[in-house]
A and B are shown apart, each in its own frame.
Chain A
Amino acid sequence: MSGEAQHHRDENLPLLDGLHEQYSVHLDKFDGPMDLLLHLIKKNELDICDISIAVITRQYLEFIKLMKDLNLEVAGDFLVMAATLLQIKSRQLLPLDDQEESEFEEVDPRNELVRRLQEYQQYKEAGMLIGARALLGREVFSRTASEPVIAAVQNIEGPLEVSLFELVDAFRVLLQRIPAESFHDVAPGDSLSIADCINEILSLLQEKDTISFDDLVRDEFTRERVIVTFLAILELCRLKLVRIFQGSEHGSIWFIPAVVADTPEVLSTHEL
């Protein structure tokens, strides 16, 4: 908004010379009509409990006019407040009629507004005070408990097993990372079969206890490879030969052999 405001301001410069100096600094600082009113009260060094409605209203309307001149959209909220101010002023000027006088003690018509302003001021200051606190992740840091993935995989049973959706999600993320294939590429002659991939994974699992999905596709990062690996994993799960774990929420997905003690039998192609 400030950029836009600057632009319009420059266009209207000759028209607004005086006002420009006076208000430009504050233009995008106001956070609604209450904020503007508070600013005007402070600027005129008025007591919040004893506002000169005439002065404030005039300046308030000037400000709205300025916003219009700058082609800024004047929010309805600002107009509501303008109407409120004018109503207060007119009630100050007009005598109460007999009926009203008998019903009410003479109440200062500004009271309601003053009460709202004071309340708003409280929360505005409270907000600044809260915002001035040392925030976690900004001024204050806690120990980020990142337990080793391996421990997470081995210690936690059951509940942390990944759902199908997380697996699909990981797959989708991986696919997005694959660089767009160039049209000039010649399709590789030997296509990878799912069974080959399964055997590959199983033999890898014999060498080490855990593999991450990333590891499986690291060497050959192509769309085909990722898809085949993904299908192979799903197949292995279905056959209950591997278990899938996730170290943390949205973390890497890891695989371990379903039965660690026995060496899983290598699948032959015709079993699929």
Chain B
Amino acid sequence: MNSELSSIIESLIFTAESALSIDRICELLSEYERDQIKSALAETVSYYQGRGGGFELVEVAGGWQFRTRPVFHNYITRHIKTRASKFSQSALETLAIVAYRQPITRAEVEHLRGVDCGGVIKSLLEKHLVRILGKKDIPGRPLIYGTSKEFLEIFGLKDLKSLPTLREIQALDVQPQYERQEELQLEPDKVIPVDSQLPFE
């Protein structure tokens, strides 16, 4: 990493309270061209990709943020109290259905799961993972639900498109493997020019 601009961007991301989007960076650095900012950011990103270390620069919820590497969580939790977010199977199923099928009504979720989902949806709403998008224009005007920005942040997703596609799911087994996360998003086998890794537009 050498240019001054990429250092400036690095400092902005470092001090930001949440993931910093390219739009926001451009807004803050109005004296620079968007293209300049994009290539400087790409420089920063590739620097951190090659760096290893205890934390990485990741794209979540449409922005960039420094996050620790998952493999070190055992050490980190020695001094940071976790919020112990443990999700039940029904919560995860419901969340997956809402994530893939949004906007969706409660009745549609219940049809897919074959079971009452009122309580689960309520607790997902309370955790701010799911939000009410509005009301569907059908008789009874039921509420329609979608996932929130917090959902992307907590589950470390760039955007909804980076959810694993359902076809991929069938090919994979479901043992928890944190390493797998990267494969789902980036296709490491394919060589991509640096710039196209950053779909900012």
Interface residues, chain A, CB within 8 Å of chain B? 29, 31-35, 75, 77, 80-81, 116, 119-120, 122-143, 145
Once bound together, how far apart are the Cα atoms of A32 and B111, in whole Å? 11
On whether the beta carbons of A32 and B156 are closer than 8 Å, the reply is no
| 17 pairs, A vs B, C-beta closer than 8 Å | A34-B113, A77-B115, A119-B112, A124-B89, A124-B96, A125-B169, A126-B163, A128-B92, A129-B172, A132-B175, A137-B82, A137-B83, A137-B85, A138-B84, A140-B67, A142-B65, A142-B68
In the complex, the answer to whether B181 meets A122 with C-beta atoms within 8 Å is no
A134 to B92 Cα, complex, angstroms: 14
A31 to B17 Cα, complex, angstroms: 38
Contact B67 A116 (CB under 8 A): no
Given A130-B95, A132-B177, A34–B169 Cβ distance below 8 Å?
no
A29 to B87, CA, bound (A): 14
Binding site for A on B (CB under 8 A): 14-17, 60, 65-70, 73, 76, 80, 82-85, 87, 89-90, 92-97, 99-100, 112-116, 153-156, 163-164, 166, 169-170, 172, 174-178, 180-181
Sorted from nearest, which 9 A-B pairs have the closest CB atoms?
A32-B115, A127-B92, A134-B70, A132-B176, A126-B96, A127-B96, A139-B73, A34-B114, A127-B93
Give Cα distance in the complex from A204 to B163, angstroms. Answer: 56
Bound-state CA distance A131–B83 (Å) is 15
- CB of B70 within 8 A of CB of A139, answer yes
B168's closest neighbor in chain A, by CB?
A: A129
Given the interface pairs A126-B166, A127-B89, A135-B155, the reply to whether A120 lies near B113 with Cβ below 8 Å is yes
For A75, the chain B residues whose CB sits under 8 A away are 115-116
Q: A32-B113, A75-B116, A125-B169 are in contact. Are A141 and B80 (CB under 8 A)?
A: yes
